[in-house]
Amino acid sequence: MHAPKASHYEAALHIVKYIKKQPGLGLLMSSRGEEKVKAFYDSDWASCPISRKSITCFCVKLGTSLISWKAKKQSTISKSSVEVEYRSMAHIVAELTWLNGLMKELGVSVKLHMDLYCDNKAAL
């Protein structure tokens, strides 16, 4: 954001061209001005059959519009499902902190209370 390069511009144009050619596959953004950020995440402990690493997935919504998502294999092997959940939670909190700063820079007003949802009783 602070020092964009030609490669960043080309990547943005590539995405815009893709969405323009495939209107049914674009991202739908709600026209309602909701300011509430909600994050959902889930982890699968040792789900990679080769490396036994855990896989974490998350998505972040602004109101009803999806604004961020990711699925990745964790870089370390965790000893328990609780450890995986905590690592995932730390990762999504870092993402929420970054998104909050980005939205402030873009002039988007966001309520600071952001909800984080998970399905693990030990993490709760």
Task: Give the CATH number for residue 37.
Answer: 3.30.420.10
Per-residue pLDDT, 46? 62
For 89, the domain range is 28-118
Which tokens in the block code for residue 88?
A: 């995932």
Per-residue pLDDT, 77? 63
Check if the beta carbon of residue 66 is closer than 8 Å to that of residue 27. yes
pTM, 2 dp: 0.66
Per-residue pLDDT, 110? 77
Per-residue pLDDT, 42? 79
- The structural domain count of the chain equals 1
Per-residue pLDDT, 18? 76
Tell me the pLDDT tens digit for each residue of 44-87: 766 666 766 777 788 888 888 888 888 776 666 666 667 777 87
- 4 in a domain, yes or no? no
Going by C-alpha positions, the residue among 81, 9, 2 that lies closest to residue 44 is 81
Give yes or no for residue 7 having a pLDDT over 70: yes
Q: Can you tell me the distance from the alpha carbon of 70 to that of 116, in angstroms, rounded to the nearest whole number?
A: 15
- 21 in a domain, yes or no? no
- 100 in a domain, yes or no? yes
What is the pairing mode between strands 115-117 and 37-44? parallel
**How many Cα atoms occupy the beta-carbon half-sphere of 80 within 13 Å?**
6
- 17 in a domain, yes or no? no
- 47 in a domain, yes or no? yes
Per-residue pLDDT, 52? 67
- 3 in a domain, yes or no? no
